[in-house]
């Protein structure tokens, strides 16, 4: 991981730089093999005519054997290293599972001319969902942000106004944490999926987007997003963007939270010693989803509530993205993610998704849709935890273990240290 002064790179500049890499990669993976095959064929032909018209001397035999040895050495040792070096430039955070990386990269190269859709989950797929709270429980990043903000209500007097039943900030903090534990299934109170995700989107009721982003950005100072990012998956996401894929994120979290986190990663993290990540289409200063009316909008769909004309979020869940022919009430999870792809994204992009990545049962429906309808599609299962994921494993899928993502281990120690330093932990003990 590298840090330094940010240099701006446009999408056009990135594509220009990678065109040269693509030519080299194509030479190493395809043309090199053809070249040596032709060379060996020519060598056989020459030897055949020599036997007919010329008897080799001892010196000629030795030269031929040396050349033969050199060519074999080149093919076995040099060419794979050159190809591996090239892949390392494109995917610098992959230090294992390289055979799977070759499979992924070849699929990207083969399908790039089609410019298909690629869909990603967020929590547990491209970012860790293991943030340690002040109570020692593992939570998603969005949940950790809510609790962190609840401990700083005096610093952010505009945060979560509907939970402020009186002037007592400690009681308000308690109200927020109790509701968060319910929706995160950390409370004995049972809750159905509809309640979980619709209530998740209404925490910010009464707040504006700027107020939400202000608290998230302050939270990310204590919980640096670069410590929680799954960089191998970000490398893949960046490569898909550079190759012209239509990349979308379909998440159960707030799209404002996800876009803000990706924006901070983009500012601080280098994909190489010269280039920063550039999540074009996923990071904007304000969240307006991509649509026909907003072609420069953000390509992130998540659970969110509707806004008033004044820009304040309400308690009314926004169903704009999960509409379906059966008129079912769906949230952005499970079947709802599939509905988002079928009825919102694909009609907008006028093409089908050929790539999908996820980690939990909430992603199975959309991934099954992508993989089953097209035998040429590719799915990445990121340390899959869902009980239904074994059904997806096969020649179309690549399973990535948790050992590939060092951030999943580092973040636990970092977040625990942050939690110990908060005043909330001291109040909890008292």
Select from 286, 287, 320, 305 the least CA-distant residue to 205. Answer: 305
Cα–Cα distance list, 185 to 55, 122, 333 (Å): 84, 19, 16
Which spans in 251-324 are helix H? 255-268
Instruction: Return the pLDDT at 116.
Output: 96
pTM: 0.74
Q: Which residues contact 152 (CB under 8 A, 6 or more apart)?
A: 159, 218
Instruction: Return the pLDDT at 203.
Output: 80
Q: Which residues contact 389 (CB under 8 A, 6 or more apart)?
A: 361, 364, 381
Instruction: Return the pLDDT at 427.
Output: 35
CB 341 within 8 A of CB 353: yes
Select from 171, 145, 219, 198 the least CA-distant residue to 314. Answer: 198
End-to-end CA distance of the chain: 39
In residues, how long is the chain?
430
Regions of the chain where pLDDT drops below 50 = 1-9, 11, 15, 17, 24-31, 78-79, 81-82, 194, 407-416, 419-420, 422-430
Select from 58, 33, 57, 56 the least CA-distant residue to 46. Answer: 56
Select from 343, 114, 94 the least CA-distant residue to 246. Answer: 114
**Helix/strand/coil for 398:** strand
Report helix, strand and coil shares of the chain as percent, to nearest 5: 55, 10, 35
Strands (E), 271-325: 300-301, 305-307, 313-317
**Residue 341 CB neighbours (<10 A):** 24
């Amino acid at each position: 991981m590298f840090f330094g002064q940010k240099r701006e790179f446009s999408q056009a500049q990135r594509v220009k730089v990678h065109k040269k890499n693509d030519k080299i990669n194509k030479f190493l993976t395809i043309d090199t093999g053809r070249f040596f095959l032709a060379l060996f064929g020519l060598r056989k032909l020459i030897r055949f005519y020599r036997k007919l018209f010329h008897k080799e001397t001892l010196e000629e035999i030795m030269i031929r054997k040396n050349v033969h040895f050199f060519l074999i050495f080149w093919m076995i040792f040099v060419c794979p290293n050159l190809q591996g070096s090239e892949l390392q430039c494109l995917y610098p955070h992959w230090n294992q599972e390289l055979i799977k990386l070759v499979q992924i990269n070849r699929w990207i190269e083969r399908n790039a001319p089609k410019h298909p859709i690629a869909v990603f989950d967020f929590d547990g797929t491209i970012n860790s969902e293991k943030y340690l709270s002040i109570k020692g429980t593992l939570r998603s990043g969005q949940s950790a942000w809510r609790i962190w903000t609840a401990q700083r209500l005096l610093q952010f007097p505009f945060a979560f106004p509907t939970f402020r039943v009186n002037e007592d900030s400690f009681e308000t903090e308690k109200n927020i944490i109790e509701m968060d534990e319910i929706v995160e299934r950390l409370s004995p109170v049972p809750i159905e999926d509809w309640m979980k995700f619709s209530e998740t989107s209404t925490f910010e009721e009464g707040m504006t987007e700027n107020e939400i982003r202000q608290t998230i950005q302050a939270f990310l100072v204590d919980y640096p997003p670069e410590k929680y990012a799954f960089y191998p998956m970000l490398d893949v996401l960046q490569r898909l963007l550079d190759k012209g894929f239509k990349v979308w994120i379909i998440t159960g979290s707030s799209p404002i939270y996800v876009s803000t986190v990706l924006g901070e990663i983009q500012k601080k993290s280098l994909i190489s010693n010269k280039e920063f990540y550039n999540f074009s289409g996923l990071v904007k200063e304000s969240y307006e989803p991509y649509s026909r009316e907003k072609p420069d909008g953000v390509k992130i769909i998540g659970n969110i509530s509707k806004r008033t004309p004044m820009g304040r979020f309400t308690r009314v869940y926004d169903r704009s993205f999960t509409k379906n022919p059966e008129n079912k009430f769906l949230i952005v999870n499970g079947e709802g993610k599939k509905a988002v792809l079928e009825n919102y994204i694909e009609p907008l992009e006028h093409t089908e998704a050929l790539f999908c990545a996820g980690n939990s049962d909430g992603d199975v429906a959309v991934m099954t849709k992508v993989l089953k309808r097209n035998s040429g599609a590719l799915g990445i299962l990121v340390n899959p935890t869902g009980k239904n994921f074994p059904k997806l494993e096969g020649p179309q899928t690549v399973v990535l273990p948790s050992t590939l993502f060092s951030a999943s281990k580092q973040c636990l120690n970092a977040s625990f240290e942050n939690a110990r330093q908060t005043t909330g932990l001291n109040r909890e003990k008292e």
